[in-house]
Amino acid sequence: MSLETVLETAWGLLQEGVTNRKKPFHTPAAASISADFKPSIRTVVLRSIDQTKKTVRFHTDIRAKKYAELTANPYLALHFYDETKKVQIRLETTACLHNRDEVAAEAWSLSQSMSKVCYSTPIPPGASVAVPPAALSLEEANMEIGYDNFGVVEGAINYLEWLQLSAKGHERAGFRWAADGTLICKWLGP
Ligand SMILES: Cc1cc2nc3c(=O)[nH]c(=O)nc-3n(C[C@H](O)[C@H](O)[C@H](O)COP(=O)(O)O)c2cc1C
């Protein structure tokens, strides 16, 4: 495969991760940096990939730890692994956060009711609770409060790294976009 084909294949797999919830790329790990410079990582649902703008999105509750971490330090990394294809993709991005703006409003309007309910819980993510709370029903949920808590994290992709495991020889490639959009592609030692 040429570097060009590798990059096209990577975009295709990422796009498939958005639309096909059965694919492992649907739920990447997203890493941020804590206030005391520790790595902080969790699973998220991949909501969109824009190959032209080179952006990636997921949704989150703005009361979650990651939102505060990304507000303080926008460096956001995402990790994907497809066990069946033996492909790992790593993304280095700079996050832009959206809450109660046009981007958040559009994403909220396209969200399922069951997803919206989660954002209306009065218990902030990570808060200490005596026992695990029951899920809110649709009737109990206050969607206005939910919308206020709803955030879209959009990462501007600066670097994409590809690793294909193979008995014939692993293939690893790096793709870096400069601020002016110039792309530098390289094969790397696996
Ligand atoms: C399959 C799966 C999908 C998840 N999707 C999301 C998501 O899209 N957004 C999100 O904020 N948390 C999601 N979570 C929960 C996070 O992994 C995490 O537990 C939560 O957001 C709190 O993270 P934080 O305290 O580091 O902010 C998901 C968890 C799992 C297991």
CA of 113 from ligand 1 middle (Å) equals: 18
The structural domain count of the chain equals 1
Note whether residue 160 is domain-resident: no
The pLDDT of residue 182: 93
Among 40, 42, 154, the mutation site with the greatest number of ligand 1 atoms within 8 A of its Cβ is 42
pTM: 0.97
User: Atom 18 (ligand 1): residue with closest C-alpha?
Assistant: 42
Q: Percent of the chain beyond pLDDT 70? A: 100
Plot region of 169 (φ>0 → left; ψ -120 to 50 → alpha; else → beta) = left
Q: Report the CATH number that the domain containing residue 37 is assigned in CATH.
A: 2.30.110.10
Whether the per-residue pLDDT at 40 is higher than 90: the answer is yes
Note whether residue 77 is domain-resident: yes
Whether the per-residue pLDDT at 75 is higher than 90: the answer is yes
Note whether residue 28 is domain-resident: yes
pLDDT in tens, 76-91: 999 999 999 999 999 9
Q: Could you identify the atom of ligand 1 that is nearest to the CA of residue 69? A: 27
Q: CA torsion sign, 142 to 145 to 151 to 152? A: positive
Whether the per-residue pLDDT at 179 is higher than 90: the answer is no
Note whether residue 159 is domain-resident: no
